[in-house]
Amino acid sequence: MEWTDEGIVLGVRRHGEANAILEVLTREHGRHLGLARGGAGARLRPVLQPGNGVRVTWRARLDEHLGVYAVEGLKLRAAGLLAQAHAVFGVTHLAALCRLLPERDPHRTAHDMLEAILDHVAEPGLAAALTARFELQLLGELGFGLELDQCAATGARTDLVYVSPKSGRAVSQAAGAPWRDRLLRLPFFLREGASAASPAREEIADALALTGYFLAHRVLEPRGLLLPDARERFIAAALGLPARAASAG
C-alpha cells in the first residue's frame, strides 16, 4: 500500500531513540499517523513541527498497519508561529479539534480551512474569525451542524441575529426579542457566503462564544472532555481580551 498527499502536521511524539510517530491532517486521506524514521533527529525535527505544511508518502504492507512516512517540508511555518502567543495557542487548539475527527476519514473542507487559518495567522483578528468558522464547519463534520439560514420560529431568512442553544437553529430579531437574554448571538460573518475579512472584535467574540457553546455541550461533554485551555488563551491573545472574558458566553 502506498499513497502521497499534502497535509498539515498536528503533532509528533518520539518513538525510540531516533524515530517519531507523526500525526498529519492530509487532504485526501484525513487524519493519519505513521512512523517517521529519523524523525527525532536534527534534520527532520524542524520539519515535523505542528502547523507546518508537508508532503508525505505513506507506505505499509496492509492498510490497517501504522505504516512509514517519507516526509518533505513545504510550508515551514513553525518558527514564525513561535514568535506569536496567539499563534502558539491557536495551533495547539486547532490540532486538538482535528483529533476529534475519525482517523483516516477524509475531511477536505476542514483541511483547506485549517490551511487558510495558518496562512493568515499573522493577522490575529482574521485568524480568530477563521477559527470560529472552522469550529462551525467541524460541528457539521461531526454530525452536529447548526441551521443558520432560516428562523426556527417563523421561517424567515432575513434579520437572523440569534441562535437557540437548545435546537442550534437561527432565530430572527423579532421572534427572539422576548427571549434574547437566553439566546446566543449570531454574527453575520458566520452566515454562508459572508466574508470573514473584517468583522468587529465583538462579533468575533460572539462567534467564538457560539461555536464554543455547541462544541462544549454537543461534542466534548458527552466524551467527558472540556474545552481546552489553549482555546481560551488563543481568544484572549488574538482579541486582546482578559482570559475570563474570552471564555464568557
210-223 pLDDT, tens digit each: 999 999 999 999 99
> Model pTM?
0.93
112: amino acid identity, one letter = D
User: What length does the chain have?
Assistant: 249
Domains, the chain, in order of start with CATH, read: 2-80 (2.40.50.140), 84-148+186-246 (no CATH)
CA distance 239 to 233: 10
pLDDT of residue 249: 46
Helices within 25-179 (DSSP H only): 78-82, 85-98, 108-119, 124-141, 173-176
pLDDT in tens, the chain (249 residues): 999 999 999 999 999 999 999 999 999 999 999 999 999 999 999 999 999 999 999 999 999 999 999 999 999 999 888 889 999 999 999 999 999 999 999 999 999 999 999 999 989 999 999 999 999 999 999 999 999 999 999 999 999 999 999 999 999 999 999 999 999 999 999 987 777 778 999 999 999 999 999 999 999 999 999 999 999 999 999 998 765 555 544
Residues facing residue 12 across a β-bridge: 22
